[in-house]
Amino acid sequence: MKHCLTIAGSDSCGGAGIQADLKAFSALGTFGMSVITAVTAQNTKGVFHVQNISPKVIAAQIKAIFDDIRVDAIKIGMVSEIETIKTIADTLKKYDLPPIVLDPVMISKSGYDLLNPEAKKTLIEVLLPMATLITPNLPEAEEILGYKINNLEDMKKAAKELHTLGPEYVLVKGGHLSNDATDVLYDGNVFYLLTQERIETTHTHGTGCTLSSAIAANLAKGNSISKSVENAKKYVTTAIEHGFSIGHGVGPTHHFYELYRKAGIINE
């Protein structure tokens, strides 16, 4: 079995963050491990408080994993502070690294800043060059680049500019545009467009976390970048299609729908 590591924040309601990552890792047949960077108090209605984990503890978690267990892929999510980012980079550089999928988490759906504004520059300069693939949504790409993205051509332009910041591959997610959901994958030379019919639902909590961790799981199993993204997008689309309500706000996606269906746990 392949081993996947998520370095991210904890979501107390279980729909996003390391909880979503571990569910996706498991659903896709890999063993999930975690390094917690922050503990959030959140539910389906929003994020209400964040407690960042000390850099010393973050470094110790990373060291504990790599000193004992093979890591086949890494997903990095919420990294709020400058010292958190530097610690992750400095500690990881001590090891022979597998593919890294970086989801540049910045703002929650409810508008809570999950990346301190002063840490944005550090994220761009320190972590982006370490990434095999980055997976920004449109607001995140706009925040990094400093301009609005309004259409597919803007997404291609953004992908090219993001690529110059150091990652090997860039996936600009188009879910915030209207019409079909088209994502743009760029390898430095060629654009790959991945289009999926938009699913009308409010239950999309944790989709970005789930997609990036699903890509990491596919990379761990030896798939190419393009195949990993394609497989992950299909998986997330199914999870979104069967998302459900657990509270009074934005519900989670269904990470285990296909497994539950095959096991006869749920009916069609």
Question: Which residues does the annotation mark as catalytic?
Answer: 173, 204, 206-209
- Beta carbons within 10 angstroms of residue 197's beta carbon: 10
Report the b/e string of 79-116 with b at 16+ CB within 10 A: bbbbbbbbbbbebbeeeeebbbbbbbbbebbeeeebbb
Cα–Cα dist 243/252, whole Å: 6
In the block, which residue shows the tokens 């917690």?
Answer: 36
Cα–Cα dist 249/105, whole Å: 20
Cα–Cα dist 216/39, whole Å: 22
Beta strand pairing call for 181-186 and 191-196 = antiparallel
Q: Which amino acid is at 221?
A: K
Cα–Cα dist 99/232, whole Å: 15
CA-to-CA dists, residue 184 to 8, 102, 156, 187, 262, angstroms: 24, 16, 7, 10, 32
Longest dimension (CA), the chain: 49
192 beta partners: 185
Cα–Cα dist 112/50, whole Å: 10
Cα–Cα dist 28/5, whole Å: 14
Q: Map residue 107 onto helix, strand or coil.
A: strand
Cα first-last separation, the chain:
30
